[in-house]
Amino acid sequence: GENVEQHPSTLSVQEGDSAVIKCTYSDSASNYFPWYKQELGKRPQLIIDIRSNVGEKKDQRIAVTLNKTAKHFSLHITETQPEDSAVYFCAASDGRGGADGLTFGKGTHLIIQP
Amino acid sequence: DAMVIQNPRYQVTQFGKPVTLSCSQTLNHNVMYWYQQKSSQAPKLLFHYYDKDFNNEADTPDNFQSRRPNTSFCFLDIRSPGLGDAAMYLCATSRDPGETQYFGPGTRLLVL
């Protein structure tokens, strides 16, 4: 099955600086890579996603890049703000025919220092 | 914003006493998922329904079962909860396989 590795586990940046979180996956058949933000005690919220036919996607301060050859994808947050503090999870679709549950990375606790 | 609804939000049960968690959706999505999220860990897929087709993850314990009586509702049954089953249980839906998954608020299960 799919295995997703996520780094770092904790990331502390100064407000206004950029944050980068990286993930690798193992199943070359995976074709869908979402990123979720989860605040304490709340549900995961989708912030951006990318499919394997696209190399990069941007939405305001958030961007995701995908390198399918190397099987890694990254989340970039620019001009970080205090409300960006949360746990961020990357995920990959299982890729097996008919099965599309998400395999999550272990999460990155992003701390924005004022 | 109440598109994926989970009840109850908090559930306390006793060791070994069967418990049922419920999920409903107003999105008319074809796929419904159940994830288990333990403290400070990532969500882990237990199983999902694509319409009426049930898909169980290989490592989901037999203690966990699911029912989907219609498009809108999906239930998670834990036949004999153990202390290790205490977790947040998240329901998610997607319109079709491989599409964006939307999570409900979760049910936090406590086993005494």
Residues 6+ apart with CB under 8 A from B101: A34, A46, A102, B33, B92, B93, B94
Tell whether the model's pLDDT for residue A38 goes beyond 50.
Answer: yes
Give B57's contacts in chain A (Cβ within 8 Å).
101
Cβ–Cβ pairs < 8 A, chains A and B: 52
Contacts of A31 in chain B (CB under 8 A): 98
Q: Rounded mean pLDDT of A53-78?
A: 94
> How much of chain A exceeds pLDDT 90, in percent?
79
Least CB–CB distance from A107: residue in B42, B44, B50: B42
Q: State the smallest CA–CA distance between residue A32 and chain B in angstroms.
A: 7
CB A12 within 8 A of CB A111: yes
Which string of DSSP letters, residue by residue, matches A78-96? -S--GGG-EEEEEEEE--S
The stretch A6-25 carries a mean pLDDT of 98
pLDDT, tens digit (0-9, with 9 covering 90-100), for B45-88: 999 999 999 988 888 999 999 999 999 999 999 999 999 999 99
pLDDT of res. B54: 92
Residue A94 clears pLDDT 70, i.e. is over it:
no
Q: A49 with A106: CB under 8 angstroms? A: no
Rounded to the nearest angstrom, the minimum Cα separation between B92 and chain A is 10
pLDDT above 90 (res A113): yes
Q: Which pLDDT band, with edges at 50, 70 and 90, does B107 fall under? A: very high
Judged by CB atoms closer than 8 Å, whether chains meet at A1 and B58 is answered as yes
Whether the predicted pLDDT of A50 surpasses 80: yes
**pLDDT at position A97:** 47
**pLDDT higher than 70, residue A96:** no
Indicate if the pLDDT at residue B1 is higher than 70. no
The mean per-residue pLDDT over the stretch B29-36 comes to 95
pLDDT at B82: 96
Closest among A42, A27, A91 to A64, alpha carbons compared: A91
pLDDT at A7: 97
d(CA A107, CA A8): 8
Q: What is the dihedral of CA A49, A71, A103, B43, to 10 degrees?
A: -70
A106 pLDDT above the threshold of 70: yes
Across residues A14-43, what is the average pLDDT? 94
Helices (H) and strands (E) in chain B, counts: 0, 11
What is the average pLDDT across A12-28? Answer: 96
pLDDT at A101: 83
| DSSP of A32-101 | EEEEEEE-TTS--EEEEEEETT-SEEEETTEEEEEETTTTEEEEEE-S--GGG-EEEEEEEE--STT--P
Q: What is the pLDDT of residue A99?
A: 52
Binary contact (A43, B101; C-beta < 8 A)? no
Looking at this protein, which amino acid is placed at residue B60?
T
The proportion of chain B whose per-residue pLDDT surpasses 70, expressed as a percent, equals 98
Closest by Cβ to B43, choosing from A31, A32, A44: A44
Three-state DSSP at B83 gives helix
| Amino acid type, A112 | I
Report the C-alpha gap between B106 and A41 in whole angstroms: 9
Banded pLDDT at A20 (limits 50, 70, 90): very high
Q: Do the Cβ atoms of A44 and B103 come within 8 Å?
A: yes
